Amino acid sequence: MRKLYIGNKNYSSWSMRPWVLMKQAGIVFEEVMVRFDSFEAASKFKSTIGPINPVAKVPVLVDGDLVVWDTLAIAEYLAETFPDKQLWPTKAADRARARSVCAEMHSGFGGLRGNCGMNIEASLPEVGAKLLREQPEVGRDLERIVQMWSGLLDAHGGPMLFGEFGIADAYFAPIGTRIKTYGLPVPAAIMAYIERVQALPGVKAWIDEALAEKDFLQFEEPYRQSR
């Protein structure tokens, strides 16, 4: 049985990506949740995940003797291992575009990701409005997201970015949670896409389990105090 090591569902955006991809695609795996306590070298999190992953981060996919610890590498491995699942689009040009937007997510959007940490349980629209006023990079990243998603939805006719659910939708699913948490303004068609993604059984399962965690981690909560 392959294992996927993840962090807290409420906070771990990178863990969310392969988890919802596998759940939605019907790829069987065992979940191993390693709770965030801190990211210091001596933390329980680091001491638990460090022997499995040399960079001591999640997610990590373990399949027999193979260990894959980069989110995009995990997605590529799953696509090659389960070609029948069609995790990438069937057309070569669409696959290239899907890989391009996933790579852009992988290395970019630092303003949005850095200022609007994933926090599914929270509702922080006032923080989102303040960030848009004071952190211009957040607005620039949001504008690019809207441009990208609008273009892909128009080109492929929906309901997902490349027609049917795939790696690109899983890769951007955490951005949808951020948009909702921080009340970031997007066009109706973009919000409708976010709602469609979050209604998918695999994505809904992650969100429901994130809401059930009730594990408030102060170091993940720059905008709220402990309740």
- CATH 3.40.30.10 maps onto the chain at 3-85
pLDDT of 225 over the 90 cut: no
The torsion angles phi and psi of 92, rounded to 5 degrees, stand at -60, -45
Contact 58, 68 (CB under 8 A): no
The helix (run of H) or strand (run of E) holding residue 62 is strand 60-63
- CA 112, CA 54: separation in Å to the nearest integer? 27
- Averaged pLDDT for residues 21-43: 96
Amino acid at site 48: T
> Could you give the CA distance from residue 117 to residue 41 in angstroms, rounded to a whole number?
22
pLDDT at 153: 98
CA torsion, ordered 217, 193, 163, 93, to nearest 10 deg: -70
pLDDT band for 11, please (50, 70, 90 cuts): very high
| Mean pLDDT score across all residues of the chain | 97
Distance CA 213, CA 10 (A): 7
State the DSSP code for 126: H
Tell whether the model's pLDDT for residue 226 goes beyond 80. no
**Model confidence at 58: pLDDT above 70:** yes
| Helix residue spans in 26-70 (DSSP H) | 44-49
β partners of residue 160: 163
pLDDT tops 60 at residue 227 = no
- Check pLDDT > 60 for residue 164: yes
Class level of CATH domain 92-211? mainly alpha
| pLDDT of the residue at 1 | 86
**CATH number 3.40.50.10140 is the correct assignment for the domain at 3-85:** no
Average pLDDT over residues 2-21: 98
CA nearest neighbour of 220 among 77, 91, 124, 145: 124
What is the mean pLDDT of the segment spanning 197-226? 95
| Residue 131 neighbours by CB distance under 10 Å | 22
Distance CA 41, CA 50 (A): 9
- As annotated, the residues of the chain forming the CATH 1.20.1050.10 domain(s) are 92-211
Q: Is the Cβ–Cβ distance between 106 and 141 less than 8 Å?
A: no
Distance between first and last Cα of the chain: 39
Q: Taking the model in full, what pTM does it have?
A: 0.96
